[in-house]
A and B are shown apart, each in its own frame.
Chain A
Amino acid sequence: MPEALTDDQIVETTAATTPGMFAVLLRNRVAVAAGLVVLAFVAVSVLAPWLAPFDPNLQHPDAIRLPPVWQSGGRAEFLLGTDALGRDLLSRILYGAKVSIGLGVMVVLLTMVVGTGLGMIAGYFGGWFDAAMSRLVDVLLAFPFLIFALAIMAATGPNLTALVLALAFKGWVDFYRVARGDVLSARHADYVTAARGVGAGTAHLLLREILPNIVPPIIVLATLRMATIIISEASLSFLGIGVPPSIPAWGTMVSDGRGDIATAWWIATFPGLAILFLVLAVNLLGEGLRDALDPRMRL
């Protein structure tokens, strides 16, 4: 029975391209607000040296474990209080945004490029490469990621390169699976057959014809993965084997405050709130993008 297109179908056809997806996203107020929060965090991570009242590692011996300003004993220059070494919590939290966002972006880009590339090759050519990759993916999916990252990090000691590699070790698999599946179905699509018919080479087909069509779901996945990566990095830093201790990172700060929770609740609490807000905003943005791309995937 022929029917007029429903609203959802119209949205879907416009959203299947990258600009279309963002156009639909702009109609979702919650997602736009979340996007603004994420942008604010990015701004903080860049502008921390100008925004922060103090150097994040500067110790104030006369201001050890000061409570936040609204509690009795708090001082106006330390809005969120100080930690056990007399360092200003607000300054450390502002600087900490850099690690969470910087590492998150780096790991997501790395896994996205590797995963999408391998997925496209496997999906397009199939054959032994595809078969070998799917065995590897089975193994990696069963692999307890955290314990593996722990083992690498424990062996190399806290350093940023190892941290990025440990976080990326398994993250590319999601991109691989999405890209492979999409390429598999795009391989015989009309536009690909047409391009092949006019003599387009493999590289052209993959990069100029197929890739633009699988970008939107990859962007959605990248955003949602970003949230996971931020939590994983913070978890490793919390265990003392993520970011080197000289760099202020939210996970390390929560860990610093662990010994003082009975007397100074704020030291562990505020950095964790920063993680929660950033991850929440990234998740909301990612889900907004997913809904814009395909309303039927909404949870």
Chain B
Amino acid sequence: MLARFLGRRLLQLVPVLLGVSLIVFLTMHLTPGDPIEHMLGQAGRVTPEQIAELRSHYGLDRPLATQYWLFLRHAASGDLGISYSHQGRPVAEVVAERLPATLELTLFAFVLALAFAIPAGIFAALRPQGLFDRLGTVGALVGISLPGFWLGIVLMITFGLRLHWLPISGRIDLGLAPRTITGMNLVDAALTGDAPAFWSALRHLILPGITMAAPMAAMVMRMLRSSMIGVLEKEYVQFARAKGLPETEVVGKHALRNALIPTVNIVALQTGLLLSGNMIIETVFQYPGLGKLAVDAIAAADYPLVQAVVLIYATSYVLLNLGADVLHVVLDPTVRTAAT
């Protein structure tokens, strides 16, 4: 049953990705800005023949529909084309090089946000309108109103430049990079038992991680708080209390599981936003991930690279929502029958 549900949802991915790729393809090609000119920007004297040759080399002289069709056919076999701005290296290779850095930062921010939001949401719900709840409500509202790029800069000024506690850019201190296994520094350092690399990588993740996590933590906390307040008023919770179960068990087992159901969707949505926010935060912190790669690729009119990155973002967004739906089905037996 779950497998059929999964299969149907995976199939729905196809038209969405086709639509996304078509929109990005058209905007990249129909807006002004010529990649060949960008490439030749510093090259000095070039003849029109050389330009024409480059054009045909990259297939840019063909009709748009042909170009799109070729792009799709190649993409389906994992070939995302050749990057214009990275010395003609395959896009897939350039992307694969940056992906672990972004995954690491996103996962870090994800864990940070939940580690803060879940306990805070529960505590706030236990005493609505209490001191902690009021502080939390104000804090959460500030969290969703903060412009990420500015929060990052303020953290850099405070904890990097004033207090000298943490580094403000990059992924790891020079010369400390661990042996590459997964490409994620924390994981690689842990696997190889490389303590200095681990600490260095961790210290570099803290400021961008907090910047990224702030709005997600705020949203998740608010959602969990309100659904927890609702659940705590339910009869089965009152019943569990009346049975004499300790409060920690009532809240932690009976109430939390049900309060988490609506929260799961917010978490997925927010994780999608984490990804789209990483362009700005990686730019602020000069963090060499996918987001910064995208910003640089756009500036260089590197069509294939931009297309690839957009598709990765869109795919992960759709998959995250799919994941949320699956979790929803697993957590909530009542939708299980409706979904399958």
Footprint of B on A, CB under 8 Å?
Answer: 135-136, 138-139, 141-148, 150-152, 154-156, 227, 231, 234-235, 238-239, 251, 254-255, 257-258, 261-262, 265, 268-269, 272, 275-276, 279-280, 283-284, 287, 298-299
Contact = CB atoms under 8 A, between A and B. Distances in A.
B31 A139 contact: no
B153 A268 contact: yes
Nearest to A282: B145
Contacts of B309: 147
Interface hub of B145, B275, B299, B314 (most chain A Cβ within 10 A): B145
B156 A139 contact: no
A47 B83 CA distance: 49
B223 A262 contact: no
A150 B279 contact: yes
A254 to B, nearest CB: 5
A150 B149 contact: no
A20 B284 CA distance: 45
Contact of B145 (A255, A262, A279, A298): A279
Given A135-B15, A139-B19, A139-B23, A151 B314 contact: no
14 contacts: A144-B317, A147-B294, A150-B294, A151-B27, A231-B145, A231-B147, A238-B147, A239-B279, A254-B153, A258-B284, A268-B153, A269-B153, A275-B150, A299-B223
A273 to B, nearest CB: 8
Interface in B6-37: 12, 15-17, 19-20, 23-24, 27-28, 31-33
Interface hub of B276, B280, B298 (most chain A Cβ within 10 A): B298
Contact of B148 (A235, A280, A299): A235
Interface of B: 12, 15-17, 19-20, 23-24, 27-28, 31-33, 141-142, 144-150, 153-154, 156-157, 161, 222-223, 225-226, 275-277, 279-280, 283-284, 294-295, 298-299, 301, 306, 309-310, 313-314, 317-318
Given A261-B161, A283-B144, A299-B226, A145 B276 contact: yes
Given A269-B154, A269-B157, A276 B15 contact: no
Nearest to B230: A296
A171 to B, nearest CB: 14
Given A154-B301, A276-B150, A284-B141, A144 B280 contact: no
B161 A151 contact: no
Contacts of A138: 12, 15-16, 19
Contact of A142 (B156, B225, B318): B318
Contacts of A279: 145-147
A146 B279 contact: yes
A69 B306 CA distance: 46
Contacts of B280: 146, 235, 238-239
Contacts of A251: 147, 149
Dominant secondary structure at the A interface: helix
Contact of B141 (A143, A255, A268, A280): A280
A139 B12 CA distance: 11
Nearest to A296: B230
B147 A272 contact: yes
A280 B17 CA distance: 35
B145 A135 contact: no
Nearest to B219: A299
B298 A154 contact: yes
Interface hub of A138, A255, A275, A299 (most chain B Cβ within 10 A): A299
A238 B31 CA distance: 22
Contacts of B31: 151-152, 155-156
Nearest to B153: A268
A26 to B, nearest CB: 20
Contact of A254 (B12, B27, B150): B150
A143 B294 CA distance: 14
Given A144-B314, A276-B142, A284-B141, 4 more contacts: A146-B280, A151-B31, A155-B31, A261-B157
B157 A151 contact: no
A142 to B, nearest CB: 5
Closest 9 A/B residue pairs (Cβ): A272-B150, A155-B31, A139-B19, A144-B313, A279-B145, A280-B145, A155-B33, A154-B298, A299-B222
A283 B147 CA distance: 13
Interface hub of A151, A251, A268, A283 (most chain B Cβ within 10 A): A151
A152 B156 CA distance: 30
A292 B324 CA distance: 31
A148 B310 contact: yes
Contacts of B20: 139, 142-143
Contacts of B317: 141-142, 144
B80 to A, nearest CB: 16
A55 to B, nearest CB: 25
Nearest to B300: A154
B284 to A, nearest CB: 8
Interface hub of A152, A239, A269, A283 (most chain B Cβ within 10 A): A239
Contacts of B27: 148, 151-152, 155
Contacts of B277: 146
Interface hub of B149, B275, B280 (most chain A Cβ within 10 A): B149
B140 to A, nearest CB: 9
A272 B284 CA distance: 14
A261 B301 contact: no
A59 B295 CA distance: 31
A146 B226 contact: no
